């Protein structure tokens, strides 16, 4: 029942996104014919191509045709490169996925332990240091942090490549650039939510039972503090899968975010539509996955559902 409900809302959101994107793209000045034929083409040539592409039909028929093609897995071709869009997505999305997962791992590995440490040392100098560092990390924009990391680790130390996707180590710097910002958010969130539960009765009971401090923190306190952290991780993962344009651009990382922005700049409408669809699907799937994890993390969610 839970899954049916979720999947029906999933379908509604995707349909809404498709309709909105389609309408918005048709409201933007200019049309694909203008982009394809340039400024020298005659009016007759423009009219012929417009008719061939079905752009003279009513908007509702065009949308119907678009949905019918989509149902057959046909996303069309890029206006500029003539590449089938499905091929572009197949090459770009895995790159984004790889970067998103790597950044998330870095964020989790740094953020959660630091958050726990800060909570356990609340109001001591260690807590202030961790809080200050995490604020600094979250305040560093990718367009600044990325080149600084390149300068230090690639140019000065010569340890890592500056940019590109040729070697396995190429992912380290972009993943750190994204992961550090994420770790800062997770540190603060873990600290706050752990502090909220550390003074609860069930923690006092656990301690009174003689459980070790490690067991109390990891098995009791952290589990109870996990829900807001899962929410943040879900939201951040959604953003990462939507593509992180600045980081992808700086590091020449051929991901979906860069493809989306470039298609908007070049008015490559079919590519824009397809990218928005993929991004929307990612968001919806991550949210669905987050909801499922909630049910495992907190039995109260299962009961209320």
Partner 1 sequence: MLRIILLMIFCLLLAACGKPENIGEINFAIAQAPLNLDPRYATDAASERVNRLIYQPLVDFDAAMQPVYVLATSDTSSSDTLNEKSYRFTLQKSATFHNGKTLTAHDVKATYDSLLSLKDSPHAAEFSNIERIKVEDEHTVLFQLKQPDKHFVAKLILGILPKTLIEKNHDFSHQPVGSGALEFVSWQNKLTLKRTGDNQIISLQEVKDPTVRVLKLLRGEADLIQGDLPPELVKHLQSKPEISVKTSVGANFSYLGLNMQDAILKQQKIRLAIAHAINRQAIIDKVMVKNSRVAAAILPPEHYTNLGVSLFAYDYNPKLAKKLLQDAGIKLPLKLVYKTSTDAQRVRFATILQAQMRPAGIALEIRSLDWGTFFADVKQGNFQLFGLTWVGIKTPEIYSKAFGSDFFPPNGFNRGRYADTELDKLLANEDWPAVTQRIHAQLPYIPLWYEGQFAAMQKNITDYAPKPDGNWDNLTTIIRSDTISNHAN
| Interacting residue ranges for partner 1, rule: CB under 8 A | 29-30, 34, 36-43, 45-46, 48-49, 52, 80-83, 109, 113, 147, 150-151, 153-155, 158-169, 172, 249-252, 254, 264-267
Q: Which is nearer to partner 1, 9 or 126 (CB)?
A: 126
Q: Which is nearer to partner 1, 89 or 284 (CB)?
A: 89
**Nearest approach, Cβ of residue 106 and partner 1 (Å):** 10
**Nearest approach, Cβ of residue 59 and partner 1 (Å):** 20
Longest dimension (CA), the chain: 87
Q: Which is nearer to partner 1, 263 or 290 (CB)?
A: 263
Q: Which is nearer to partner 1, 165 or 288 (CB)?
A: 165
Phi-psi region of 158 (alpha: psi -120 to 50; beta: other; left: phi over 0): left
3-state DSSP of 141-209: CHHHHHHHHHHHHHHHCCCCCCCCCCCHHHHHHHHHHHHHHHHHHHHHHHHHHHHHHHCCHHHHHHHHC
**Nearest approach, Cβ of residue 208 and partner 1 (Å):** 28
Q: Which is nearer to partner 1, 160 or 277 (CB)?
A: 160
**Nearest approach, Cβ of residue 159 and partner 1 (Å):** 5
**Nearest approach, Cβ of residue 33 and partner 1 (Å):** 8
Q: Which is nearer to partner 1, 48 or 205 (CB)?
A: 48
**Nearest approach, Cβ of residue 16 and partner 1 (Å):** 25
């Amino acid at each position: 029942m839970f899954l049916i409900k979720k999947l029906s809302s999933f379908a509604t959101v995707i349909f809404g996104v498709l309709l909105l994107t389609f309408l918005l793209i048709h409201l933007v000045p200019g049309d694909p014919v203008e982009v394809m034929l340039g400024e020298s083409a005659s009016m007759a040539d423009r009219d012929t191509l417009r008719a061939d592409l079905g752009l003279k039909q009513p908007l509702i028929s065009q949308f119907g045709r678009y949905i019918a093609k989509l149902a057959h897995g046909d996303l069309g071709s890029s206006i500029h490169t003539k590449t089938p869009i499905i091929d572009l997505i197949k090459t770009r999305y895995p790159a984004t996925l790889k970067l998103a997962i790597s950044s998330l791992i870095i964020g989790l590995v740094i953020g959660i332990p630091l958050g726990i440490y800060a909570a356990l040392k609340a109001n001591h100098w260690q807590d202030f240091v961790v809080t200050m560092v995490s604020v600094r990390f979250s305040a560093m924009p990718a367009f600044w942090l990325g080149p600084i990391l390149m300068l230090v680790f690639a140019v000065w130390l010569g340890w890592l490549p500056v940019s590109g996707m040729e070697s396995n180590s190429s992912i380290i710097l972009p993943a750190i650039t994204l992961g550090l910002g994420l770790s800062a958010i997770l540190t603060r969130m873990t600290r706050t939510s752990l502090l909220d539960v550390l003074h609860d009765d069930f923690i006092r009971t656990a301690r009174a039972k003689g459980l070790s401090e490690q067991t109390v923190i990891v098995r009791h306190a952290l589990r109870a503090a996990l829900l807001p952290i899962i929410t943040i991780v879900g939201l951040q993962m959604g953003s990462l899968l939507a593509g992180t344009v600045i980081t992808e651009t700086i590091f020449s990382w051929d991901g979906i975010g860069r493809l989306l922005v470039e298609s908007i700049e070049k008015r490559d409408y079919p590519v824009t539509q397809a990218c928005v669809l993929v991004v929307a699907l990612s968001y919806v799937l991550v949210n669905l996955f987050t909801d499922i994890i909630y049910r495992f993390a907190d039995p109260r969610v299962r009961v209320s559902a």
